[in-house]
Amino acid sequence: MSAAETKLTPMKLGSLTVKPPSHPTYDLKGIIKLALTEDAGNRGDVTCMAVIPTDMEVEAHFLAKEDGVVAGIALAEMVFHEVDPSLKVEWSQADGDYVCKGLQFGKVTGRAYSVVVAERVVLNFMQRMSGIATLTKAMADAARPACILETRKTAPGLRLVDKWAVLIGGGKNHRMGLFDMVMIKDNHISIAGGVTNAIRSVDMYLNQQNLKMEVEVETRTLDEVKEVLNYASQTETSVTRIMLDNMVVPLTNGDVDVSMLQEAVKLIDGKFETEASGNLTLETVHKIGQTGVTYISSGALTHSVRALDISLKIDTELALQVGRRTKRA
């Protein structure tokens, strides 16, 4: 049996391989409706209404046009069912699986009009999520034993979707937003008048509000690391993680100098979780991951994502023929 002929099995709506991260106010179904409304405008799909008979049914196949980690399968099914609950969706792969160029990995069957209306919204979500998952998987594998995190540098309105794709790719989520973790950044420190003042203010606030949550403080120099450690040695603090920002120094030959990062990790000596940030690439992440840091965060996972090429085709034979001609199948 060829890869393109792999047996398809129905996937129950809501039966998720990787569940989306939790958020107290994010409306995933609302985002799907917004995307569909954005496409439909005030008239709907005028091309479909002109061309497709209302009672015609089709079978359309998902086709991977390059290698990568597929993500967005569960979300795609949600989109199809929002457009038309009668559509039947089947998959041979699950979120997080690796797909090869030319693989048919799923199909949707039902009203032609509904399939085509949903097509672009489904693919927009899947291609972006698969691109994020593919890069995350490569980064996470190279970073071990450190864990890869994304940041809040997500597409506006797609925060949960982007972070879901990171989980599917094998990464872990940083804070979801401004509400679920205290993160003392450089501007907070400048406004507070120094690292110690900023941490002291956070400790007081959390105590007054009777709040318990993770607290991270950004440090840019070894002196700032020492200041955090000195404060913590004298006062009970809520700090749980120290960010080591831009302590990886790029070299002219493309390599990086991690000696400052290593020194910071040694100073902290396991008293707090550590997070390396800045000057991170797929080529440098392995070296950074060997320094002993707990986490490595990368904004590029979501802000500079390259979509994975996936299509949905009714005439798969012609699509594969064209794909082979253009070396995309």
What pLDDT score does 321 carry? 73
What pLDDT score does 16 carry? 66
Task: Convert the pLDDT of each residue in 102-139 to its tens digit.
Answer: 999 999 999 999 999 999 999 999 999 999 999 999 99
What pLDDT score does 274 carry? 98
With a cut of 90, say whether residue 150 has pLDDT above it.
yes
3-class secondary structure, 256: strand
Q: In the chain, where does the domain assigned CATH 3.90.1170.20 lie?
A: 28-134+307-326
Confidence of residue 316 (pLDDT cuts 50, 70, 90): low
* Listed residue (12, 45, 13) closest to 28, CA to CA: 13
Residues annotated within a binding site for substrate:
120, 151-153, 175, 185, 218, 245, 277-279, 298-300
Task: Convert the pLDDT of each residue in 158-213 to its tens digit.
Answer: 999 999 999 999 999 999 999 999 999 999 999 999 999 999 999 999 999 999 99
Q: Where are the alpha helices (DSSP H) in 8-157?
A: 28-40, 46-51, 73-83, 112-143
Please give the full DSSP string across 248-298, using - where no structure is assigned: SEE-TTS-EE-HHHHHHHHHHTTSSEEEEESS--TTTHHHHHTTT-SEEE-
Q: At the topology level of CATH, where does 139-304 sit?
A: TIM Barrel (3.20.20)
Alpha-carbon span 301 to 135, nearest angstrom: 7
How far from the centroid of its chain's Cα atoms is residue 252's Cα? 30
Alpha-carbon span 208 to 202, nearest angstrom: 10
Catalytic residue numbers?
A: 120, 153, 185, 218, 245
**From the CA atom positions of the chain, what is the Rg in Å?**
23
How far from the centroid of its chain's Cα atoms is residue 284's Cα? 20
Please give the full DSSP string across 301-322, using - where no structure is assigned: HHHT-----EEEESSHHHHHHH
Helices (H) and strands (E) in the chain, counts: 12, 15
With a cut of 90, say whether residue 11 has pLDDT above it.
no
Report which DSSP code applies to 244. Answer: E
CATH superfamily, domain 28-134+307-326, is Quinolinate phosphoribosyl transferase, N-terminal domain (3.90.1170.20)
Q: What's the whole-number mean pLDDT along residues 63-77? A: 97
Mean pLDDT of the chain: 93
3-class secondary structure, 204: helix
* Neighbouring C-beta atoms of residue 157, cutoff 10 Å: 13
